[in-house]
Amino acid sequence: MPCGTKIRALLLTGSLLTLSACSNGFDMDMRGLAGGELSTSQAAKSAGTAERPQPDARGVISYPGYQVALARRGDTVAQVAGRIGMNPTELGRYNGLKLDAPLRDGELLALPRRVTEPVDGVIQPSSDINITTLAGDAIDRAGDTPQNSSTSKVSGEQPVRHRVQRGETAYSIARSYGVSVRSLADWNGLGGDLSIREGQHLLIPVKVATSATGTPVTQPGQGSSTPTPPSAAAALPTDEVKQDAPKAPAAPKLSDTRTKASAARMSLPIAGKVTSVFDAEKAGYILISAKPGDPVKAAASGTVRLVSKDVEGEEIVVIDHGNGTQTAYSFISGITVKKGQKIKRGQQIAVATKNRYNAIQFLVFKGTEPVDPMPYLN
């Protein structure tokens, strides 16, 4: 399923850690993942990203196609505008901010037009592409002659600049571009709550190609030399050791391994079909078709550990089944259970909501990692 569908993945890993570790408060936004790493997918976890370039003394970072400015702690839009030589009203309107709005340290503001270039010049790809060609008439419209516009002392790829649309979150944007939400926050100076606003401009971190072990990927034609093959000068031995024919393995007793459907560890929480299978690289859940008002039931017996809402207002229920196994349910309403309540397998906990996917979202966690629910259901 395309990432652009903006399915509200629950991202419960950090919450489950909090629930199982202590009672010092619960992360209602479900953003505190293990080890402080905020991520929306396995792909994002393994995708390395470059560090954001350092700004000049004014806080300006200059790319061929656009410029951005970074705020300092305690800055307002008007103060940033004064420092970079831009009309405060123009800067505030372009970023959807009031002139006296307090800004975070490192918060990123997009510039509606170019200002005087930093002393180090425009950041350009290492291939040394001509800045005038890339910038086009954007530099001409600046009204100021860029310093060092013919060559750049700083190299680096120009990141994608994303304008936030209504309903998007830092998680959905990071997932759609295949980067970690932590790097997205670092590049854009997002606060601890990772809140973003409609119309806000975000820079998408530049990816750095890495292997699964985190080491740089060797380009074609590079790397270690081919090892010398073993010599064939010596003749192969003519005497062969005669070995006994292998014995056929004993036929397994299928009756001992056969599992009946009724003996599955969990049952489907709703009488529907699985419409989106588990994909560890994209999302740690499955979707099960449902009509509004259809009863949603506990997949197995256990204790209700959480009844809450996610950052986008979706109601959720988390049930602990023991042995480090927990299930989570979303796209639901009319919740009939409470935190700490003991429930039985098949007991109704809520009803399905009306949503664009005509489904409920179902997750299974083993410890703090989402796992494929199908082996538990079959």
How far is the CA of 118 from the CAs of 4, 316, 351, 368, in angstroms? 36, 49, 58, 46
Per-state percent for the chain, helix, strand, coil, to nearest 5:
20, 20, 60
Alpha-carbon span 63 to 335, nearest angstrom? 50
Residues 78-128 pLDDT 10s: 999 999 999 989 999 999 888 888 898 989 999 999 998 888 878 877 554
Q: Which two tokens stand for residue 58?
A: 């004014």
pLDDT (tens, 9 = 90+) of the chain, 378 residues, equals 444 334 455 445 444 544 544 434 433 334 333 333 333 334 444 447 888 888 999 999 998 888 999 999 889 999 999 999 999 899 999 998 888 888 989 899 999 999 988 888 788 775 543 433 333 333 343 344 344 433 445 667 888 989 999 888 988 898 888 888 888 989 999 988 888 988 899 999 988 765 444 555 544 544 555 555 555 555 655 555 566 666 666 655 544 544 444 468 899 999 999 998 887 766 678 999 999 999 999 999 999 999 998 767 789 999 999 999 999 999 999 999 999 999 999 999 999 999 888 999 999 988 878 899 999 987
Among 280, 370, 368, 288, which Cα is nearest to 332's? Answer: 288
Instruction: Work out the angle at residue 313's Cα, subtended by the Cα atoms of residues 332 and 296, and round it to the nearest 5 degrees.
Output: 10
Q: Which two tokens stand for residue 189?
A: 């100076």
Residue 289 burial class via C-beta count within 10 angstroms: exposed 0-12, middle 13-18, buried 19 and up: middle
**pLDDT for 369:** 83
**pLDDT for 193:** 83
Provide CB contacts within 8 A for 317, sequence distance 6+: 304, 306, 307, 328, 329, 332, 335, 337, 349, 350
CATH of domain 43-123+158-209: 3.10.350.10
Give CATH 2.70.70.10 domain extents, the chain. Answer: 274-376
Give CATH 3.10.350.10 domain extents, the chain. Answer: 43-123+158-209
Alpha-carbon span 44 to 40, nearest angstrom? 7
CATH of domain 274-376: 2.70.70.10
Model confidence pTM above 0.75: no
Alpha-carbon span 5 to 3, nearest angstrom? 5
**pLDDT for 147:** 41
